[in-house]
Amino acid sequence: MDSRTVVFLADSEDTRRLGATIAHAIKPGWIVTLSGGLGAGKTTLVQGLLAEMGERGRVRSPTFTIVESYLPGGVEVHHLDLYRFQAPADWIDAGLDDLINDQTILLIEWPEQGGTFVPAPDLTIELEIRDDSRRATLSACSPRARMGLDSLDIAAANEADPANRDSTP
Ligand SMILES: Nc1ncnc2c1ncn2[C@@H]1O[C@H](COP(=O)(O)OP(=O)(O)O)[C@@H](O)[C@H]1O
Ligand SMILES: [Mg+2]
C-alpha cells in the first residue's frame, strides 16, 4: 500500500470491516485521527477496530464524555471526540496530554477542534459521505505507520469485496 489509500465503503458493515483490518496494523503508541462530517462513520470505524482488538463491551460515542477508555487484550486505547470543544486549549483543560504515552493508542474524532494541541498522527482517516455510502482516505504519516499499513494491503482486500466492484467498464 502507498502512504495514501482510498477505500469505497458501501455500507456500515464495510466501515466496521475497514476498522477491523486497521486493527491488525495499529501498535501501542500510535495516534490515529478520524475526520469527516457528522454521520460520516468515524465512530462506526472505531467500533470495528476495537471489536477486532478484542473489546467485548459496548463502544459508545465519546461526544459528551470527550474520552472513552478501553483495555482490549491488555492494550490501553482512548477514544476521543473533540466535537464539543469551544477552543483548542480545551485539550489542555481536559487533561488530554496525560493520555499520551508509548504504551497507549489514541483514536481521535474531530482532531481539527484541538488545533496544534493534538499530537502528530501516525495515521489519518478521512471519511466522506457519498449518498448512501462512504469513501475513506487513509494516510500513513510516520515510518512505522507506513510499514504497518504496507503489511495489510487494504487496497487488495477492498478489490476482493464484490460490493466494491464497479460494474461499469
Ligand atoms: N459506509 C457506510 N455507508 C452508509 N452508512 C454508513 C457507512 N458507515 C457508517 N454508516 C452509518 O452512518 C451513521 C453515522 O455513523 P457514525 O459512525 O456515528 O458517524 P460519525 O462518528 O462520523 O458521526 C450510522 O448510522 C452508521 O451506521
Ligand atoms: Mg462519532
pLDDT 10s digits, 116-160: 999 999 999 999 999 999 999 999 999 999 999 888 877 655 655
Over residues 5-23, the mean pLDDT reads 96
Domain span including residue 58: 4-161
Residue 168 lies in a domain: no
**Which of 7, 8, 15, 47 gets mutated to test ligand 1 (max ligand atoms within 8 A of its CB)?**
15
Does 62 score more than 60 pLDDT? Answer: yes
Residue 157 lies in a domain: yes
For position 168, what pLDDT does the model report?
A: 43
**Confidence band, pLDDT 50/70/90 cuts, at residue 162:** low
The percentage of the chain sitting over the pLDDT mark of 70, rounded to a whole number, equals 90
For position 150, what pLDDT does the model report?
A: 86
Question: Vertex 11, ends 8 and 13: CA angle to 5°?
Answer: 105
Structurally, the chain folds into a number of domains equal to 1
Q: Which comes out higher in pLDDT, residue 6 or 152?
A: 6
Query: How confident is the model over 34-45, as pLDDT tens digits?
Result: 999 999 999 999
**Which of 44, 47, 84, 128 gets mutated to test ligand 1 (max ligand atoms within 8 A of its CB)?**
44
For position 106, what pLDDT does the model report?
A: 98
Query: How confident is the model over 68-80, as pLDDT tens digits?
Result: 999 999 999 999 9
For position 167, what pLDDT does the model report?
A: 44
For position 161, what pLDDT does the model report?
A: 59
Residue 59 lies in a domain: yes
Q: How far apart are CA 35 and CA 154, in angstroms?
A: 19
Q: 35: Cβ below 6 Å to ligand 1?
A: no
Does 23 score more than 80 pLDDT? Answer: yes
Q: 111: Cβ below 6 Å to ligand 1?
A: no
Residue 95 lies in a domain: yes
Residue 169 lies in a domain: no
Provide the 10 A C-beta neighbour count for residue 41. 28
Q: Strands, DSSP E only, in the chain?
A: 4-9, 31-35, 67-70, 76-81, 104-109, 123-130, 133-140
**Confidence band, pLDDT 50/70/90 cuts, at residue 169:** very low
The rounded Å distance from CA 42 to ligand 2 centre is: 5
Residue 153 lies in a domain: yes
Residue 167 lies in a domain: no
Q: What is the DSSP letter of 118?
A: S
Largest CA distance in the chain: 54
For position 94, what pLDDT does the model report?
A: 97
CA-nearest residue for atom 1, ligand 1, is 11
Residue 37 lies in a domain: yes
The CATH code of the domain that includes 92 is: 3.40.50.300
* Residues whose CB falls within 8 Å of the CB of residue 39, separated by 6 or more in sequence, listed in order: 129
